[in-house]
Structure 1
């Protein structure tokens, strides 16, 4: 069925002409990365960098053509630029090349997305494997448990983990041209993992990643929210730039483990958000210590206190420590965040304390009155 729909989309795209060559955009080889899943279509038009601006009407026409195909619920077409191979200067290599002019800045990004969300928090890390997603999920659940209307967005296109951590396997509904987010543990959630098979490798270039992110923000029926937690991918790449440019981030939280190699990357994460004028709300030390499930003995496997010291050095707040405990991992794998499954535990209390402090900081920035988080 997906193959049949993909062919129908390709036929619809053949009605769109490339103004430069006069051929249809499929024959001209511009269509790249076409994927179809449950009526949702994604593709890119690969064009020379200098033609990106003039190809915007072609992109819009291709998106409209794809969306008009029977069985397609939503279509997203993005432009991805490639650099044309340089031609040798006339007269051979001895002739000096003409000086190159500076590239023009890209066109404006358009209106900011998620206008009905009062506060958006990016949970980020400089590297993978530090428990960022587990932290983001539990913080979101803690915020929702206190009466705040909360959204959770998985911005990690290449390695989405929300379906596993939320225990959500079904596909989101589509009403008209709007995707309805899934509801779990008192919050609204969206991830590319809800739209593709779990073992599908997202072999996409940067512009397609940005297009998918914008679709999950702009075409999802989030509705009014007090707060949205965004689980960012590791690193400082396209997704981070897209979020800083397309939504009004209230701030970022950096998650790190205590050892020096993780703190180096956390430092880069802090500097990156500072460069794009996003306030850093604080640093969290995850896997701060290990507690033996049998005897309760505490062992500082990765060291201890490194994130606190780094926060002081960078002049940002240290938000707290989270332990390395078997129950946190087991419940995350089972799709039942510990804040919801075992709210009485010390681990859940640690997440709730951090969530309370974050909301306190956001309210202090002039947010309208909203439920106040109470930590017992």
Structure 2
């Protein structure tokens, strides 16, 4: 892996690094973690669509992809293969648009090829996450969206500990309607409560299937599991996003779905999720 000059094995407790970390993250107004109890629920897709929607609303947005073993954000934004450069404040993120209103940092930019596997033990993963949190120069973001790996591992604890002093706004939990996925999100809720991370709400992804020909929505994986969970635990329900072949194609090709298909029901659902997210918490309003 061709990493920048900083040593990912180095300790993060020295004064210079602490000063740099404070500078870089204090330039971010709002930080939102996107969590899921299990893989395959579309967490990265939801994180990307939230970021694109916020950018469309005129905000300056960054995405930090800390899913070290499965970095999919670069492909979804069509920036895979980009190089990470450095400035005096640290790493300069990769911009996904000409206006430089959407920036991305991912382990995918530091790998020699798309097929390279990250075969690391926990300490090295945690060191990399700490470096991502401290050394990326976001340069006055309105929103930083952090796409996390599935589960509640030590990688999540590292992120929470690294963000504590900056008081992140909270977490968006992503589930699918099935009972298995909802059960895993219950454990994610417990993780948030134990670590003091506010829960901003639940998104039920893959909630129905939108036919590309007639636009009718069929409930392939049942419906309502995420909403029921939100009611049970008295947390906000942000909305449902259906399965949509057009959304899948845009994610594969690195295109903005909400720009390409603004009148589709799925784009409307994503807009509603972000609208509810912004309306639900006073701290998120800019």
TM superposition score normalised by structure 1:
0.68
| Alignment match of 1:316 (pick from 203, 223, 235) | 235
Q: State the shift of 1:214 in Å.
A: 1.6
| Alignment match of 1:116 (pick from 27, 42, 45) | 27
| Alignment match of 1:221 (pick from 115, 125, 137) | 137
Matched residue, 1:242: 158
Matched residue, 1:76: 8
1:228 & 1:246 partners in 2: Cα distance? 14
Q: State the shift of 1:110 in Å.
A: 6.3
Matched residue, 1:192: 107
Q: State the shift of 1:217 in Å.
A: 2.0
Gaps of 5+ in 2: 12-16
Matched, 1:172 2:88: no
Gaps of 5+ in 1: 1-35, 41-72, 80-108, 371-376
| Alignment match of 2:59 (pick from 148, 164, 177) | 148
Change in 2 beyond 3 A, CA 1:299/1:162:
same
1:297 & 1:361 partners in 2: Cα distance? 29
Secondary structure at the residue paired with 1:74?
Answer: coil
Correspondences of 1:236-275 after superposition (within 5 Å) = 236-247=152-163, 248-275=167-194
* Rg (Cα) greater in structure: 1
- The number of equivalent residue pairs is 271
1:354 & 1:298 partners in 2: Cα distance? 18
Q: State the shift of 1:292 in Å.
A: 1.9
Matched residue, 1:350: 269
Matched residue, 1:335: 254
Q: Is the 8 A contact 1:137 1:337 kept in 2?
A: no
Q: Is the 8 A contact 1:157 1:192 kept in 2?
A: yes
Matched residue, 2:217: 298
Q: State the shift of 1:286 in Å.
A: 0.4
Change in 2 beyond 3 A, CA 1:208/1:177:
farther
Matched residue, 1:286: 205
Q: Is the 8 A contact 2:236 2:280 kept in 1?
A: no
1:296 & 1:227 partners in 2: Cα distance? 32
Change in 2 beyond 3 A, CA 1:262/1:341:
same
Q: State the shift of 1:123 in Å.
A: 0.7
Provide runs of 4+ in structure 1 moved above 3 Å.
109-113
Secondary structure at the residue paired with 1:323?
Answer: strand
1:118 & 1:150 partners in 2: Cα distance? 10
Say which structure is richer in helix.
Answer: 2
**Segment drifting more, 242-251 vs 156-165:** 242-251
2:127 & 2:152 partners in 1: Cα distance? 17
1:283 & 1:215 partners in 2: Cα distance? 29
Matched residue, 1:105: none
| Alignment match of 2:117 (pick from 201, 209, 217) | 201
Matched residue, 1:125: 36
1:118 & 1:295 partners in 2: Cα distance? 42
Matched residue, 1:139: 50
TM superposition score normalised by structure 2:
0.89
RMSD: 2.1
Secondary structure at the residue paired with 2:143?
Answer: strand
Q: Is the 8 A contact 1:78 1:208 kept in 2?
A: no
